Amino acid sequence: EASVEKHHYQSDIARLRKIVINSLYSHRDVFLRELISNANDALEKLRLTSLTNKDVWDGTPLNITIRTVNGEDGTSGRLVITDNGIGMTPEEMARNLGTLAKSGTAEFLAQAEGSPESTTNGHLIGAFGLGFYSSFLVADQVYVASVPAKTLENPNPQQYTFSSSSDDNDFATYPDPRGKTLERGTEITLVLKPDALEYLEHHTVIELINKHSVFSSSFPIYLFQQREEEVSEESVTDIPVDNERVTENAEDEAVIEEVEESQTKETKKKTILVDDWAHLNAQPPLWTRDSKNITSIEYQLFYQATFRDFKAQSLAWNHFSGDLGSGVSFRALLYIPGKLPDDFWHGSQTTSTTGIRLMVKRTFITSDLGEDYLPKWASWVKAIIDADDLPLNVSRETLQNASFLRQIKQAILKRIIQTFTKIAEDEPDKFAEVQKVYGTVFKLGAVEDAKNSDKLVPLIRYATNQRNSTSLDEYVENKKAGQKQIFYVSDAGKSVSSLAKSVFVEKLHARGYEVLLLTDPLDEVLLHHLRKWKGIPFQDAAKVGLLFGDEEIDLEEERIRQAENKEKFGPLLNWLKKQAEGIVRDVIISDRLVTSPCAVVADAGGYTANVQRIMSATNK
């Protein structure tokens, strides 16, 4: 017992465990998804490590197995989930399962304790990396036995166990009293709570795997089952029994013995129990299948499971194949998430992990394509790219320089735009929804991505004095005969309706001109950047010197009136100039106002206050 190491959970963890256990109770099914996801990660880590360190894996099949063990004689039922992945040393178990490295802890606590509804949302577990703790939703006691992968320094690693119960604030690690039952990897034993025995039912387990994990694991998941099989007497002793697969459960031995005994009696055909492993995720991965045979529900489930976005549905997807040249083809599945990452506009952090999973022949290679792999406007995209041939053991640096990555990037950007363009053409109502999430993203892309700007601008929609929504193309089609400018007024943060009432719009509106009403700070930046659309320059209606396209019609009349006005109002102008000295540059008679008596406008050459603000921010 001297070798048992007792540890206290950090205080945050103790609180966290209570919250997870108590408040996520109604979503306790998620525990299985989380444990499978950890097993999958461990297998992926082993495979990736083996690319540079051959000692860790001899190439034997990697898999995840699930066993149920019925309780007997007062013991509780157990659910055992095993992987032959990278495994953990006892120190790693204490660190990874007993502490939370994630910075999200405090944030999670605040959110979970602050708002009771959010805690009933099972998505939080995945979102905050609390996967392992969800075990305690269904288990009173959890044992984690693990053997880390072999290394040169540690050629014969021992099996250790981590154990913790749902009501202590302690956990322990110690050499496994059973010795080394695992070749390599991790076995999680959940001693189920008396009210969680439904997880011993195979149909429940199969249902949960189908719901949450069938798409997300690239390794086979097997459920241990015993089925009855009829055999003739002679062949009884010949039944191949794989030692590793035979359960050591005393009950099973008893059953087998019973059968053998009855075998010695007179009949020839006998029923015996045979170990069987049901392959729960036998379907080929979704992206390899023919899109004609895939339902929307399957696409959505795959999206949620693969990208762990359980909050929002995907808005749209694009399932396609392509060619990287020299005969290398790829299949890809790209998703438009239902919402942008929370920190998309404000985030200062940059991460090298993209939402792009690069695979070769169905095997995950990397998501680490460098922080600038995609332009910011497209950085939210989720995609799987599966090439049929790429050098597998390239280093990260070579990967980033590889020309196929540039090709893939161009394909992704093209497909994102294509997906949005198709919605705009075919599903106007849905496109209105798309605008709410991605409207500003299109503007950002049109400014930052010179290559794709021309294709992104047509996706942008503006409110005008004449209609709720127009594209620049529609504006140009709708313009009046002789109109030589695209008119706009801009005031970030104001409402469209107040802009519509602005004095600058009045005169244009009265003359039947359409005026873009811009309320997004990016609008003006984009218009300054584009300068014209379809050869027609943008004109800020709030700038002095505004000319209408039809001015030649009443040019002469106008000149006479202006001369009259100048004389008539000259003394008033002089008086006003004196009153407002140092505040305005000039006071002039305007031709633009219809109902308002006066307006303060920006100088023709200068930026508006709005653009000045953005310019000074981006120059930092």
Q: Which residues bind ligand ADP (CB under 6 A)?
A: 34, 38-39, 42, 83, 85-86, 88, 96-97, 129-132, 186
Q: What's the angle, vertex CA 261, arms to CA 257 and CA 262, rounded to 5?
A: 120
Nearer to Mg ion, 101 or 250 (CB): 101
Contact partner, 98, from ligand ADP, Mg ion, none, Cβ < 5-8 Å per class: none
Tokens standing for residue 26? 């109604």
Residue number, 131 or 445, with CB nearest to Mg ion: 131
Minimum CB distance to ligand ADP, residue 85 (Å): 5
Q: How far is the CB of 305 from ligand ADP (least distance, A)?
A: 15
Chosen from Mg ion, ligand ADP, none, partner binding at 32 (C-beta under 5 to 8 Å by type) = none
Q: Which does 96 bind (CB under 5 to 8 A by kind): Mg ion, ligand ADP, none?
A: ligand ADP
Q: Which CB, 126 or 445, lies closer to Mg ion?
A: 126
Between 213 and 490, CB nearer to Mg ion: 213
- Judged by beta carbon, residue 30 or residue 387, the one nearer ligand ADP is 30
What is the contact surface with Mg ion in residues (CB under 5 A)? 38, 131
Closest approach, Cβ 31 to Mg ion, in A, equals: 11
Q: What is the CA radius of gyration of the chain?
A: 34
Specify burial of residue 235 (Cβ count, 10 A radius: 0-12, 13-18, 19+).
exposed
Number of neighbouring beta carbons within 10 Å of residue 97: 24
Q: Give me 242's structure tokens.
A: 């794989």
Per partner kind, with CB cut-offs from 5 to 8 A, the member of ligand ADP, Mg ion, none near residue 491 is none
SS (H, E, C) 98-165: HCCCCCHHHHHHHHHHHCHHHHCCCHHHHHCCCHHHHHHHCEEEEEEEEECCCCCCCCCCCCEEEEEE
Q: Which two tokens stand for residue 379?
A: 């950085």
Nearest distance from C-beta of residue 176 to ligand ADP, angstroms: 15
Residue 97's binding partner out of ligand ADP, Mg ion, none, with CB under 5 to 8 Å set by partner kind = ligand ADP
E strand segments, 369-427: 382-387
Within 8 A by CB and 6+ apart from 291, the residues are: 319
Among Mg ion, ligand ADP, none, partner that 82 touches (CB below 5 to 8 angstroms by kind): none
Least distance from ligand ADP to the Cβ atom of residue 188, Å: 7
Q: Which is nearer to ligand ADP, 39 or 324 (CB)?
A: 39
Distance CA 395, CA 363 (A): 16
Residue 172 CB neighbours (<10 A): 16
| CB-based closest residue to ligand ADP | 131
Report in angstroms how near the CB of residue 520 gets to ligand ADP at its nearest: 36
Q: Tell me the residue number closest to Mg ion, measured at CB.
A: 131
Between the CA of residue 8 and those of 11, 94, 403, 507, what are the distances in Å?
8, 10, 51, 74
Cα–Cα distance measured from residue 523 to residue 124, given in angstroms and rounded to the nearest whole number? 35
CB of 34 to ligand ADP, least distance (A): 6
In the bound state with ligand ADP, the residue whose beta carbon lies nearer, of 132 and 548, is 132
Cβ closer to ligand ADP: 108 or 533? 108
Q: For 153, what's the count of Cα atoms within 13 Å in the CB-facing half-sphere? A: 2
Tell me the closest approach of the beta carbon of residue 202 to ligand ADP, in angstroms.
22
Inter-residue contact 111 to 53 (CB < 8 Å): no
- Return the amino acid letter for 301: L
